[in-house]
């Protein structure tokens, strides 16, 4: 007896009449007893089992674990006049959170406040935690940093002769929070070590037992004249099991989640003379067209998406959810979850499994660090965005330098902090494609669906269009599928 016959026989023995095409849509290793209990709860016995049953289950009972979406962290807009104190609260909340992380390091557990430094004797060893307020090179080419905490500011010096430490210090950026160990000098601290609020090396690479895949993409730019509509439709056809060989069709059946990380449409008036590059010049029509594409995706695939700098949102981060009056067609789709940018989303959790935390961030700050972190700028800039993502994860912040992205403070917390270490950290914006596991966090840059624009050419950005990243939740391995011609 083959697998299909076994499944049909199982249901017949339970009193269900089965349409064979219904069995074709079932995952071969689904939990039959759990599925059966769902059917009894719907009181479908002894009705014929056909493909409509999937929609009934989604509507009337709790989502099964391979479809469960929970937004863990999403920005909540505070509609009030922004004042100086809002910016003060922003930096203070960031500082105290990162200080708490740094104090967990054995080397920094005896850290003192800056105001107490001058109670120490000269050449005495000390530890400090502070924010990089200023960084410059001395006439001898040493690095001098103004380190600031809530009690004061102090100068620290990194000697160029300490080569490893000096190389590390060259990549320090303004406003990041670091820990240091050094010795007291004459109104200055000589540095021996620098510490970051990094991810713990003890984090597990989380896996599940289900043979389920997540698809990641970004930067669709519907409405732009260089949008690769045929390639995007080829991807959607593959999700429906209509293209590819048998192995690829089987893979498509295992995709349960799709993340689209910003720049869903091209927008209007994003830059001077933008209208010359548009084939859809109305923002409402752009979202209608994008929604028409998403309607082609099988309903059992849960779509999670956020806006980007081209969407009809303020450009300042954190960006709110897409506005319901402008992007109404997206809000009407039953299998779409719309989040802020950034957001933390939990997928595939169940009673006995905690699920996977996915940090999504469109990535507007990424070019700043590609251009301003010396080691990255010198080794490839936009070809090294994976190093930028490692840098941000190490700093536990999506935009540690205040001027690296436009920011609107609100509330008491800093929404750009990476306060929860995710299982997946996903970005877009750069139009590059890569996926790797770093300290058991999957770093993913999700690609695009447009060819190179003159602006990107001037900045040295080389897009990799029409590629989709698949991540297995069972093995945490990646596949990159190319839907280009």
CATH of the domain at 419: 3.60.21.50
* Same domain (yes/no): 151, 224: no
Q: Are 93 and 414 in contact (CB under 8 A)?
A: yes
Measured CA to CA, the distance from residue 118 to residue 51 in angstroms comes to 75
Backbone dihedral angles phi then psi of residue 451, each to the nearest 5 degrees: -85, 175
Tell which residue, 231, 213, 210, has the closest CA to residue 222: 231
HSE-up (13 A, CA, CB side) for residue 163: 0
Domain boundary residue, one of 195, 219, 250: 195
* Same domain (yes/no): 214, 308: yes
* Same domain (yes/no): 233, 352: yes
Tens of pLDDT, residues 348-398: 987 778 899 999 999 999 999 999 999 999 988 888 899 999 999 999 999
- Whole-angstrom CA distances from 128 to 102, 172, 191, 192 are 10, 16, 10, 12
Is the residue at 260 inside a domain?
yes
347, pLDDT greater than 50: yes
Measured CA to CA, the distance from residue 265 to residue 287 in angstroms comes to 7
- Give pairs for 77-84: CB < 8 Å, separation 24+: 77/320, 77/410, 78/410, 78/411, 80/410, 82/408, 82/409, 82/410
Tell which residue, 414, 452, 405, has the closest CA to residue 430: 452
* Same domain (yes/no): 217, 137: no
31, pLDDT greater than 70: no
- The mean-pLDDT minimum among 61-75, 87-101, 202-216 falls in 61-75
* Same domain (yes/no): 346, 242: yes
Backbone dihedral angles phi then psi of residue 111, each to the nearest 5 degrees: -60, 140
By residue range, what is the domain housing residue 135? 105-195
- Write out the two tokens for 459: 């900045």
pLDDT higher for 30 or 328? 328
* Same domain (yes/no): 244, 361: yes
pLDDT of residue 190: 95
Q: Are 448 and 482 in contact (CB under 8 A)?
A: no
How many domains are contained in the chain?
A: 3
Three-state secondary structure call for residue 437:
strand
* Same domain (yes/no): 366, 323: yes
- Whole-angstrom CA distances from 379 to 373, 376, 384 are 10, 5, 7
Domain boundary residue, one of 155, 171, 195: 195
440, pLDDT greater than 50: yes
The alpha carbon of residue 178 and the mean position of all alpha carbons in its chain are separated, in whole angstroms, by 23
pLDDT of residue 66: 43
Q: Are 307 and 322 in contact (CB under 8 A)?
A: yes
- Write out the two tokens for 354: 């905690």
Residue written as token pair 């093995």: 475
- The mean-pLDDT minimum among 1-10, 152-161, 274-283 falls in 1-10
26, pLDDT greater than 70: no
* Same domain (yes/no): 23, 165: no
Three-state secondary structure call for residue 48:
strand
Is the residue at 451 inside a domain?
yes
Is the residue at 100 inside a domain?
no
Measured CA to CA, the distance from residue 412 to residue 72 in angstroms comes to 17
Measured CA to CA, the distance from residue 258 to residue 422 in angstroms comes to 17
- Write out the two tokens for 301: 């695939």
The average confidence (pLDDT) of the chain is 87
Q: What does the DSSP assignment read for 17-42?
A: EE-HHHHHTS-TT--HHHHHHHHHHT
* Same domain (yes/no): 117, 177: yes
Residue written as token pair 């048998």: 246
The number of beta carbons lying within 10 Å of the beta carbon of residue 256 is: 22
Q: If pLDDT is split at 50, 70 and 90, which confidence band does 274 have? A: confident
The pLDDT of 456-473, averaged and rounded, is 87
Measured CA to CA, the distance from residue 120 to residue 110 in angstroms comes to 13
Q: If pLDDT is split at 50, 70 and 90, which confidence band does 282 have? A: very high
Cβ-Cβ contacts under 8 Å for 395 (sequence gap 6 or more): 176, 177, 196, 197
Is the residue at 90 inside a domain?
no
* Same domain (yes/no): 429, 304: yes
């Amino acid at each position: 007896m083959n697998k299909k016959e076994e499944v049909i026989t199982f249901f017949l023995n339970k009193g269900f009449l089965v349409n064979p095409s219904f069995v074709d849509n079932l995952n071969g290793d689904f939990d039959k007893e759990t599925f059966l209990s769902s059917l009894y709860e719907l009181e479908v016995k002894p009705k014929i089992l056909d493909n409509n049953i999937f929609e009934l289950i989604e509507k009337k009972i709790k989502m099964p674990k391979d479809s469960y979406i929970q937004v863990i962290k999403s920005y909540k807009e505070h509609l009030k006049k922004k004042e100086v104190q809002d910016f003060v609260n922003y930096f203070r909340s960031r500082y105290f959170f990162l200080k708490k992380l740094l104090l967990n390091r054995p080397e920094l557990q005896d850290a003192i406040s800056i105001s107490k430094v001058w109670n120490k004797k000269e050449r005495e060893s000390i530890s400090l935690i502070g924010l990089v307020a200023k960084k410059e090179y001395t006439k001898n080419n040493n690095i001098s940093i103004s380190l600031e905490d809530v009690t004061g500011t102090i100068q620290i010096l990194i000697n160029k002769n300490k080569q490893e430490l000096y190389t590390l210090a060259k990549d320090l950026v303004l406003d990041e929070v670091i820990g240091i160990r050094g010795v007291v000098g004459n109104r200055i601290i000589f540095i021996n070590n620098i510490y970051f609020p990094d991810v713990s090396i003890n984090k597990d690479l989380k896996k599940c037992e289900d043979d389920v895949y997540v698809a990641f993409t970004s930067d669709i730019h519907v409405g732009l004249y260089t949008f690769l509509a045929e390639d995007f439709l080829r991807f959607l056809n593959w999700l429906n099991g209509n293209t590819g060989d048998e192995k690829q069709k089987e893979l498509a059946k295992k995709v349960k989640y799709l993340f689209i990380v910003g720049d869903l449409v091209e927008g209007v008036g994003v830059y001077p003379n933008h209208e010359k590059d548009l084939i859809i010049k109305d923002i409402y029509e752009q979202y209608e067209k994008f929604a028409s594409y998403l309607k082609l995706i099988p309903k059992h695939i849960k779509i999670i998406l956020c806006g980007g700098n081209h969407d009809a949102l303020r450009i300042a981060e954190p960006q709110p959810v897409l506005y319901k009056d402008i992007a109404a067609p997206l809000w009407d789709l039953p299998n779409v979850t719309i989040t802020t940018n950034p957001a933390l989303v939990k997928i595939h959790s169940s009673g006995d499994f905690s699920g996977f935390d996915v940090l999504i961030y469109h990535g507007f700050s990424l070019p700043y660090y590609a251009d301003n972190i010396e080691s990255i700028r010198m080794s490839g800039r936009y070809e090294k965005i994976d190093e930028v993502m490692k840098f941000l994860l190490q700093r536990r912040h999506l935009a540690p330098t205040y001027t690296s992205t436009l920011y609107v403070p609100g509330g008491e917390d800093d929404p750009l902090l990476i306060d929860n270490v995710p299982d997946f950290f996903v970005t877009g914006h750069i139009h590059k494609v890569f996926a790797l596991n770093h300290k058991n966090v999957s770093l993913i840059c999700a690609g695009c669906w447009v060819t190179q624009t003159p602006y990107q050419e001037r900045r040295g950005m080389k897009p990799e269009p029409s590629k989709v990243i698949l991540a297995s939740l069972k093995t945490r391995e990646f596949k990159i599928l190319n839907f280009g011609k």
